[in-house]
Structure 1
């Protein structure tokens, strides 16, 4: 491919930072790279924007590449996703069209850091207190102390384990549940295995979700689990929006059955200001910031450049399909 010239579009660069997160200059002479900062909401807009693209870099699951979109992009040869998995890409359809899909590494588990940012902000009422002092108020709330309290983790993979470690440092009693979790794995992470999911929700003062989303876990956190929570308990979701039955969550908030909810993920992203969850003061929302850190983006886009360079040499790396 040495004599060919390619067009590359880096999608969903909302913060206009992708160009600074890697050395794209190594592709000069072979690849013309442009960075798209807008969110292309419709398939029609996406297809029109990528009509001339030979290479696309997709930032996580911000953009859907289903069979219809892929079929409408006959020039597309390489699709790079940040991370080593992307549920928004139809891998089989890409393979059928001879589109190589490559992934990237990452910088650890920044989602665990954000989960704790949400937990601490909710427990100590950081946002209303910070806004209050600017408005002339002073100490308007009573925080929830975490020492000796129960932290319940739904899912104990890499992120859940990192969250557990911090909970232990705060002298919390940490328990976890997942369908395949056994006592040995729980003990290795320094946590107690909950006997059941409902017992975890009943006992926990803070519940943090770190499960994968699949057919079995869709709507996992339902009305029964929410009703089982303590009145002061906090619920945090930095994993996938589909883990929570949104209608049941809204009903629980309307009934004042939860102490607070921290959400970094939403059914439709980017979500809009009219999201019904935003009507509740006890909801602290962030715009899917779990993976958005300088270190993570350096890993993402640094590897993306490596993937493109390797593809140009007919030796693709980190191939997912």
Structure 2
């Protein structure tokens, strides 16, 4: 098949072992983003698309301009793909669910951000390079409390790291999830307010679906401690639109450590969140490691090979 890989910005995939699984196909890798019009020209002969997470919106208008397209292969959730259009146009869409294995890379970055925020590492490093020694005083993790909102695989990994550092772990989630956590002997506060107000660090580990969009409200943020850190390596849309920046300005939470943003990529160096003095930010790199890429894209390539063999797997639409 003529396979086109979209949005490999770092041009990494071709250097990974899993790429050999596409050896029987004619493969083109695109290392930049493009408008829908340019994409339609680039992909006019494409028979299969490999998606790089949500970096490109796969709309009906785009699909209607790709007459040779037979398959779209991805991994994880698909809010960026018009699956009904895929079905209407006879295009198979396959996506391996991302909870098939925990994303260790995302959990590790979460922990790196927690450590960076609690010890204020970016400011310490900048001060040292500017000729200042020991700028400010950080805080230890041992004996403090982390609140994890979302008890899925990544949340469970983060909880394990926290316990290794001597932290107490408290949880929040849906009523059913909270009941399951209590039954498992975990600590669940008596109320939502007690959860947000009872932790030194709050870390979000929820999927962004219609039910969770904006689930963390301005009221929740206002109930956080004046010295607390909010960490979000999941999706920016979990936080109520427009709530975080005013909350930081008011001082609750004291700091935010973010890997995700409402509009990505963020290319404006004057973006108000990026420039806020109490924000530590990374450019959505929770899943950006060679190891994670090799795992995720190996599964994507397997879907392509399964489709060409006549036995498609992880079929969502088409």
Q: TM-score normalized by structure 1?
A: 0.91
| CA distance in structure 2 between the aligned counterparts of 1:162 and 1:43, rounded to whole angstroms | 38
SS in 2 for 1:181: helix
Matched, 1:282 2:278: yes
| CA distance in structure 1 between the aligned counterparts of 2:148 and 2:84, rounded to whole angstroms | 33
Identify if the C-alpha distance between structure 1 residues 47 and 198 changes in structure 2 by more than 3 Å, giving closer, same or farther: farther
Matched, 1:103 2:99: no
| CA distance in structure 1 between the aligned counterparts of 2:248 and 2:76, rounded to whole angstroms | 36
Shift of 1:317: 2.3
Q: Which residue of 1 aligns with 2:31?
A: 37
SS in 2 for 1:65: coil
Shift of 1:102: 1.9
Identify if the C-alpha distance between structure 1 residues 101 and 220 changes in structure 2 by more than 3 Å, giving closer, same or farther: same
SS in 2 for 1:302: helix
**Ranges in structure 2 where 5+ consecutive residues have no aligned partner:** none
Matched, 1:61 2:57: no
Q: TM-score normalized by structure 2?
A: 0.91
1:223-274 Cα deviation digits (max 9, x unpaired): 2111111111000111111111242211122223332101111111112223
**Ranges in structure 1 where 5+ consecutive residues have no aligned partner:** 1-5
Identify if the C-alpha distance between structure 1 residues 212 and 303 changes in structure 2 by more than 3 Å, giving closer, same or farther: closer
Shift of 1:165: 1.2
1:192-222 Cα deviation digits (max 9, x unpaired): 1132322211111100001122233222222
Shift of 1:26: 5.1
1:118-160 Cα deviation digits (max 9, x unpaired): 1110001111112222222111111122112111111111111
Identify if the C-alpha distance between structure 1 residues 181 and 128 changes in structure 2 by more than 3 Å, giving closer, same or farther: same
Identify if the C-alpha distance between structure 1 residues 219 and 166 changes in structure 2 by more than 3 Å, giving closer, same or farther: same
Q: 1:70 aligns with which of 63, 68, 74?
A: 63
| CA distance in structure 1 between the aligned counterparts of 2:310 and 2:161, rounded to whole angstroms | 44
| CA distance in structure 1 between the aligned counterparts of 2:94 and 2:172, rounded to whole angstroms | 32
Q: 2:249 aligns with which of 245, 249, 254?
A: 254
CA contact (8 A) 1:176 1:186 kept: no
CA contact (8 A) 1:84 1:320 kept: no
Spell out the pairing of 1:187-198 with structure 2 (5 A cutoff). Answer: 188=184, 191-198=186-193
| Between 14-23 and 303-312, the greater mean CA deviation after superposition | 303-312
Q: Which residue of 2 aligns with 1:86?
A: 78
4+ runs deviating over 6 angstroms: none
Identify if the C-alpha distance between structure 1 residues 22 and 91 changes in structure 2 by more than 3 Å, giving closer, same or farther: farther
Shift of 1:68: 2.3
Q: Which residue of 1 aligns with 2:301?
A: 305
| CA distance in structure 2 between the aligned counterparts of 1:107 and 1:20, rounded to whole angstroms | 23
Measured on the aligned residues, the alpha-carbon RMSD in Å equals: 1.9
Matched, 1:173 2:186: no
Spell out the pairing of 1:137-286 with structure 2 (5 A cutoff). Answer: 137-179=132-174, 180-186=176-182, 188=184, 191-273=186-268, 274-286=270-282
| CA distance in structure 2 between the aligned counterparts of 1:124 and 1:27, rounded to whole angstroms | 44
CA contact (8 A) 1:221 1:243 kept: yes
